[in-house]
Amino acid sequence: MNQPASETIRLTIDGVEVTVPRGTTVLKAAERAGIVVPHYCYHPGIPSRPAQCRMCLVEIEGQPKLQPSCVMTAGEGMNVITQSEAAKEARRSVIEFLLLNHPVDCPICDAAGQCMLQDYAYETGQLESRFREAKLVLGRDRIADDILYFADRCILCTRCVRFMRDVAGEESLIVAQRGHKAYIDTFPGKDLDHEFRGNIVDVCPVGALVHEDFLFKARAWDMDTAPSICPGCSNGCNIEIGAKENQIVRLKPRYNADVNAYWMCDYGRKHLVMSNRGARIDLPLVRRNGELEAVHWGEALDWLADSLPSGDGVALISPFESTETIAAVRALLDSVGISGGTYRLERGGEAQLEGFPKLKLRAERAPNAAGAELFGFSETAALPGPMTGGLLLVAGDRLADAPSDFGADAGFFLYIGSHLSDAARNADAILPATTFAEMEGTFINHAGRIQRFQQALVPPGVARPAWMILRRLLAMRGVGQAVLEAKDAFAMAVEEAAELTGLEWAAIGLRGADAKLDGAPAPAAG
């Protein structure tokens, strides 16, 4: 810490001395000391701090009452004891109170295993309830088209209400009734249809709010998760993909102060869950005697290495491809003497998150248009053609809207992709590629931030990342090295684009780094 002395204070928390900037709360100071003070209503991304859950009460030497650490400002020389008998007893009683009318339906609750009430209840170890009365039953409600509210599980921390009010900037949720009959509801006459409403499920510390499309889908401990980047638009929100039995079942935003904070939009959530659908290509196919024939990778690549024409041609890529794939396509095109190339980009309406303006559902509904531009591809609305022979290379674009004779006028039609549309079936060779969720790679967002995503799913059949396929093919034709790891494919891309100079795979990490793109504002490092 390089701040002047007057700007920092020192205090002791559970015997650990810690120095923090003046104005830091006791809860944040404790975090700095490596101590988590249990809490429910406080959320670092929601500005208001009502201090109402009373879970973060701590003892502060010299103060007669326990103090809520989420709002208590740390003072010079303060001695905070989070584990005092009084503080522990206060926490125990909060848990007891919260469980009085709670249905304890963990076996059928989607939050089980990731529930702060469950965790702290275990920690306080109260096996039997002293509550002899009948539990109050409030039932459940559809609070939005796609979100269910289980009132009996709700601990009324009001994070959802305050997310909508403070962050989304729309007072669509309220606490209805009062006292032990209180529950969360939509404001009378108002629907919860905000583009960022899904975040209320993420901020819910218990199982009170559940996305209907995740309802009863997976137990937390049966899910595999991987850090990833939302491909829904060019904002590049950091996400965590939750998968069960190789299907994406849930997306959650992953904190990144420079991109999306704690949030993501509902378009992104839905968009990605949809990616489970469609007929996949799982084997290489080559055209022999007019018929597509499944072959081994070796055979397909040998044949391709020999028969790929040079000199003339066009290329269509997809802005959903990784930077590594786009660089490899560029390298292949360069090797056969084709310049330029196009990509098609869907556009849609925008929606900004009022409380965090960097987060916006952007008009460009693809994650890597910036990467496509970087490697010399330009946006087009039209499909390539008509052609008079030559190479037609399509990478990633699903050609869903292409005419049935698409590619017939090409001399050689190579298709690399994940899904097999009718138009793609016209190709002379079809190479099965993974989706971004099935591989590692990077995307470059609207602001020129390059961000890594990791593999969440196992690819079907023998599908491989397109960069891996293309670099192998190039190596067989005497251009560069074959690579098996994304970091090596990335290093090759860095060598091939001056704007990426200096970027290192490890340094990009899970937070991303800024590429030096022309005209793109460099986001402040933080």
Partner 1 sequence: MGFPHSHDLEVGTILSRHFGDPKARELETWLGYGGYEGLKQAIGMEPGEITTVVKDSGLRGRGGAGFPTGLKWTFMPQEKKGPHFLCCNADESEPGAFKDREILRWVPHLLIEGCLIAARAIRAEHVYIYVRGEYFPFTSILNDAVVEAYEAGYIGKNILGSGWDCDLTVHIGAGAYIAGEETGLMSSLTGGRAEPKIKPPFPAQSGVFGMPTTVNNVETLAAVPMIVVNGSDWYRQWGTEKSPGTKLWCCSGHLVRPGNYELELGVPLKDVIYEVCGGVPDGKKVKAVIPGGSSTAMLTADELDVPSTYEGLQEAGSSLGTASPIVLNEDTNIVSAMRRIADFYAHESCGQCVQCREGTSWVAQILKRIEAGDGRLSDLDTLYDLCEQLTGRTICVLADSVVFPLRSSLDKFRNEYEALIGGRA
Binding positions for partner 1, rule: CB under 8 A: 49-55, 57, 64-66, 68, 71, 90, 93-94, 97-98, 100-101, 130-133, 155-156, 158, 175, 177-182
Q: Which one, 9 or 466, has the nearer CB to partner 1?
A: 9
Phi, psi of 393 (to 5 degrees): -115, 120
Q: Kindly state the smallest distance separating residue 177's Cβ from partner 1, in Å.
A: 8
Residues 6+ apart with CB under 8 A from 481: 471, 475, 488, 492
**Residue 390 and residue 311 in contact, taking contact as beta carbons nearer than 8 Å:** yes
The least distance separating partner 1 from the CB of residue 94, rounded to whole angstroms, comes to 5
- Residue 32 or 49: the one with the smaller Cβ distance to partner 1 is 49
Give residues with Cβ within 8 angstroms of 89, minimum separation 6. none
* Contact yes or no for 19/4 (Cβ under 8 A): no
Indicate the residue among 160 and 394 with the shorter CB distance to partner 1: 160
- Min dist. Cβ of residue 356 to partner 1 (A): 23
Tokens 């005697």 belong to 289
Closer to partner 1 by CB, 100 or 408: give it.
100
Which residue lies nearer to partner 1 by CB, 80 or 98? 98
Residue whose CB is less far from partner 1, 49 or 270: 49
Q: Where are the alpha helices (DSSP H) in 283-379?
A: 297-307, 323-335, 369-374
Residues 434 and 441: their CA atoms lie apart, in Å, by 11
- In terms of Cα–Cα distance, which of 429, 401, 434, 402 is closest to 414? 429
Least distance (Å) from partner 1 to the CB of residue 156?
Answer: 6
Rounding to the nearest 10 degrees, give the CA dihedral for residues 392, 396, 398, 403. Answer: -10
| Comparison of 51 and 338: residue with beta carbon closer to partner 1 | 51
Q: Cβ distance 238 to 451 under 8 Å? A: yes
CB of residue 265 to partner 1, shortest distance in Å: 28
Compute the least distance from the CB of residue 101 to partner 1, in Å. Answer: 7
Phi, psi (rounded to 5 degrees) for 227: -70, 135
Nearest residue (CB) to partner 1, 171 versus 346: 171
Q: Which is nearer to partner 1, 156 or 315 (CB)?
A: 156
The secondary structure element, H or E, covering residue 488 is helix 486-496
Q: Give the nearest distance from C-beta 22 to partner 1 in angstroms.
A: 16
C-alpha pair distances (Å), 421 with each of 343, 399, 425: 17, 7, 7
Amino acid letter, 312:
D
CB-nearer residue toward partner 1: 122 or 131? 131
CB of 181 to partner 1, least distance (A): 8
Q: Three-class SS string for 416-484? A: EECECCCCHHHCCEEEEECCHHHCCEEEECCCCEEEEECCCCCCCCCCECHHHHHHHHHHHCCCCCCCC
User: In the complex, what is the shortest distance from the CB of residue 206 to partner 1, in angstroms, rounded to a whole number?
Assistant: 13
Q: How far apart are CA 501 and CA 63, in angstroms?
A: 56
Whole-number minimum distance, CB 139 to partner 1, in Å? 18
Helix ranges restricted to H, 4-115: 26-32, 85-100
- Residue 285: Cβ-neighbour burial (10 angstroms; 0-12, 13-18, 19+): buried
**Per-position DSSP letters for 52-65, written without gaps between them:** -S-TTEEEETT-SS
